[in-house]
Amino acid sequence: MIELKNISKIYESNENNRVTALKDVSINFKEGELILLKGPSGSGKSTMLSLIAALSKPTSGEVIVDTKRISKLADTFAATYRRNNIGFIFQKYNLIPNLSVEDNILLPLIPLNLSEDEAQKHVKSVMEKFHIAHKKEIAVKSLSGGEQQRVAIARANVNKPKIILADEPTANLDKELSLKFIEILRELKSQNKTIIVATHDPLFFGLDFVDREIEMLNGELLV
Ligand X SMILES: Nc1ncnc2c1ncn2[C@@H]1O[C@H](COP(=O)(O)OP(=O)(O)OP(=O)(O)O)[C@@H](O)[C@H]1O
CB of 58 to ligand X, least distance (A): 13
Rule CB under 6 A: is residue 157 a binding residue for ligand X?
Answer: no
Q: Which residue is nearest to Mg ion (CB)?
A: 46
CB of 174 to ligand X, least distance (A): 20
CB of 203 to Mg ion, least distance (A): 17
Rounded-to-integer distance, Cα 57 and Cα 14, Å? 18
DSSP string, 36-91: EEE--TTSSHHHHHHHHTTSS--SEEEEEETTEEGGG--HHHHHHHHHHHEEEE-T
The stretch near Mg ion (CB under 5 A) out of 45-53, 56-64, 72-80, 127-135 is 45-53
> Which 6-45 positions form the footprint of ligand X (CB under 6 A)?
11, 13, 19, 21, 39, 41-45
Helices 175-190 & 145-157 angle (0-180, nearest 10): 10
Rounded-to-integer distance, Cα 217 and Cα 190, Å? 30
Rule CB under 5 A: is residue 71 a binding residue for Mg ion?
Answer: no
Which one among 43, 46, 157, 170 touches Mg ion, defined by CB under 5 A? 46
Q: Which is nearer to ligand X, 19 or 179 (CB)?
A: 19
Rounded-to-integer distance, Cα 162 and Cα 129, Å? 17
CB of 164 to ligand X, least distance (A): 17
CA angle, 97 as apex, 92 and 98 as ends, to 5°? Answer: 170
- Other Cβ atoms less than 10 A from the Cβ of 88: the count is 21
159 binds, among Mg ion, ligand X, none (CB under 5 to 8 A by kind): none
CB of 195 to ligand X, least distance (A): 17
40 exposed, middle or buried (CB, 10 Å; 0-12, 13-18, 19+)? exposed
Residue 205 parent element (H or E): none
Q: Which is nearer to ligand X, 20 or 100 (CB)?
A: 20
The stretch near Mg ion (CB under 5 A) out of 41-49, 67-75, 104-112, 208-216 is 41-49
Residues near Mg ion (CB under 5 A): 45-46
Which residues contribute to the site for ligand X (CB under 6 A)?
A: 11, 13, 19, 21, 39, 41-47
